[in-house]
Structure formats: structure tokens, C-alpha cells
Structure 1
Amino acid sequence: MFIASTAGWHRSGSLRPAPCPSPLPSTEHAHRPRPRSRPVQPLRWRCAWYEQSVRLTVPVPPQRAFALYSNLELMPRWSPWLRSVSVDAHDPMVSEWCLAARGFQFRWRARNTCVQPPERIAWESLSGLRNRGQVTFWPLPSAIEDAEVNRSDDTATEMELLVAFALPDWASRLLRNVDWVGAFVRGTLHADLERFREYVVQLADRERLTEGSSTA
């Protein structure tokens, strides 16, 4: 029995659709190269240094001020922002710092880039919070019109503390134009130096008492 043959149907005892012919491969894009995917580049800010400095006079010679201030592990005594400072056991020029303030904590490693007794100490961070700075010591005559500083020492020392932080360029420009931010940073640095001066005075007084009791 023959079933009426139509296009796309088999001559058989059942109405089964004939398989569709395979489509020919398209040559429209055959010779067009595939676009290469480009790696996503991380967003990078252009950085600038935000810098502040303060000065203060301490009633000891530069040699004494330098020796005390360069003992980095003592710094948390006059800087409450510093939780700890530890000097690397294998490289005394490298130190680990931990700063905690207002619920935030920052850690970084730093290297002393200049140690010039009794004139200058400079440092720069190696990792973590990017910062750098220096402390400079100048000898001054002991006759200074300041009751806290006018003591019997042969000389006094003027210290300048300079600290700089790496910030995105836009943030650095913004902070330079905001007076209260600079005043806050300078006030914080100046308060640290004032506490250092108190530490120096108290230490000198204890040493005088010890010397006096030993000679009595």
C-alpha cells in the first residue's frame, strides 16, 4: 500500500516525519577572529603625601633626648595611640608597629632610613599603613623663658617631629583645605611630644634623687 507521498514524509505504513536535513555550517563568521578577553585591571589611586610637623623644647641635651626617643619600644609610654612597638631581633633597623584609635587598628613594618646621633632619626614604612617621617634635635642654651624648661642643665633641645601619610591624591588635596583636620593632627603630635617631655623630666628628677641619696 502506497501512501500519498508529500515532501518531508516517508513512504511507509506509518506517518513518520522525515528527518530534516542537517543545516550547512554558516560561513558568515568563519574567518572572523574571536575577540580576546582582556584581564581586568585593578583600580589604582594616585597617591600623595599628607604631611604635618610640630616643635617642642625639652630640658635635656640632644644626646639624652636622642637616646630616649630612639628607644622605639618605649614610645607607647608617651603616645597612647601606639599599642606596641617591637624591634626586629635580626635587624635592629626594622620594627613592627601597632596603632589603635577609635575602634580601628593599624599595623605596619618600618625601617629606619637615617640614624644620625644626636641630630636626626628618619623612617619609612615597608608594609601596611604607608607613612614616613623624621625627628630632628637641635641644641639650645639652657636660659629659656619657660618655667618648665629653665633648669640647671647645660643645654636644652628643640625637637621637630614630622610625619607624613600616603593618601589618595584627591583626599590629600581635600585635607590640605580642611583646617580642623590639620589642627587635629598637629595637636595629636604636639601632645605626644609634651608627654615625652614629661617623661624626660620625671626620669631626670628620679636620677637626681638617686644620685643625691647615694652621695648622702
Structure 2
Amino acid sequence: MIERSVELVVQAPVARVYELWSDFENLSRWMRFVDRVTLDPDRPGYSRWRFGIDPLFVEWTARITRMIPLRLVAWESVSGLPNRGQIDFFPVDQSCRLKLTLAVAAPGGVVGAVVEQVGLGRWLDENIRADLVQFGKLVEESMSRDL
């Protein structure tokens, strides 16, 4: 597995940042390659993920391994594409510093071949930073609408 961490300060209170992040079915709004996340109504803490671009998708089922409200959310896949991650929320004055850590195994098949050509480490670096920046913008825009 390749692991990467990215940090970002969002100009919003921790409670607002945590609220928006922990709405997992909304992650596709700001994570470019997440096609959808579906919560499992029969198993709290489990979700089904579809990731990629048409027609190249990989899927997995994930479970929350640790959740401390307003502090952190950690997860791992239990089937499909092997991955795990954690997001930490740190209050900084009236803002929130996020630290997102992801570990991913290269997918197989055509998707894996494409990612291998690009380089999984470089791809993760570029994309998790861009997605986190996009998330920060959405949070900050939501704050300005609430005023």
C-alpha cells in the first residue's frame, strides 16, 4: 500500500467542517473520482464506494473503525479495493486544520494499468490535495451562505 497525508486549514469552525465531512453520501460533491457512496442501512458504519471515471470503476465496502465526534474519522475497506484512511480535525482559533491520511493498494485491471502509468504515489499526492482544497472551498462557501 502507498500512504500519503495532506493538511489544510479551512476557515470554518471544527463543528461545521466535521458535520460536512461526516455526511459520507455527499463526498462525491468534492472528491472528483468518487462516483457515489451508499450507506448500508442494515450495518451502521458500513458503506459501499464506487470510484473512478466512466467506464473505469473500482468498488469496495468500507467500515468506520474509529469515530470521535469533532476529532477524527477512521475507516478501512473490508472488501474490494484495499484501502484505509483517517481524517483528523484540529481547532485553530475560529478555523479548522484537517489532516487527511490515505493508504491505497494499486487496483487491478485496466484501472490499475492506467494508475501505474501515472504513478500511484504522485496521483495520490495531486488528487487528495486537490480534493481537500475543493472540500475547504465548499465548507467556506457554506459558511458565507449561512451569514
Please, what TM-score do these two structures have when normalized by structure 2? 0.86
Query: 1:124 Cα shift?
Result: 0.4
Identity over the aligned pairs, expressed in percent?
A: 34
Q: Secondary structure at the match of 1:197?
A: helix
2:146 counterpart letter in structure 1: E
Aligned match for 1:98, one of 44, 50, 54: 50
Correspondences of 1:62-73 after superposition (within 5 Å): 62-73=14-25
2:133 counterpart letter in structure 1: E
Q: Secondary structure at the match of 2:96?
A: strand
Structure 2: runs of 5+ lacking an equivalent = 108-118
User: CA RMSD for the aligned pairs?
Assistant: 1.9
Quick check: which one's helix share is greater? 2
Higher RCO by CA contacts (8 Å cutoff, separation 6 or greater): 2
Contact 2:2-2:121 at 8 Å conserved across structures: no
Query: 1:92 Cα shift?
Result: 2.6
Query: What are the Cα deviations for residues 12-40 of structure 1, in whole angstroms up to 9, with x where unaligned?
Result: xxxxxxxxxxxxxxxxxxxxxxxxxxxxx
Larger radius of gyration: 1
Query: 1:102 Cα shift?
Result: 6.9
- Does 2:129 match 1:190? yes
Query: What are the Cα deviations for residues 158-186 of structure 1, in whole angstroms up to 9, with x where unaligned?
Result: 00111101359xxxxxxxxxxx6533311
Runs (4 or more) in structure 1 with deviation over 2 Å come to 180-184
Report the count of equivalent residues: 137
Structure-2 residue corresponding to 1:82: 34
Structure 1: runs of 5+ lacking an equivalent = 1-48, 142-154, 169-179, 209-216
- Does 2:97 match 1:158? yes
CA distance in 2, matches of 1:131, 1:104: 18
Query: 1:60 Cα shift?
Result: 1.1
CA distance in 2, matches of 1:181, 1:98: 18
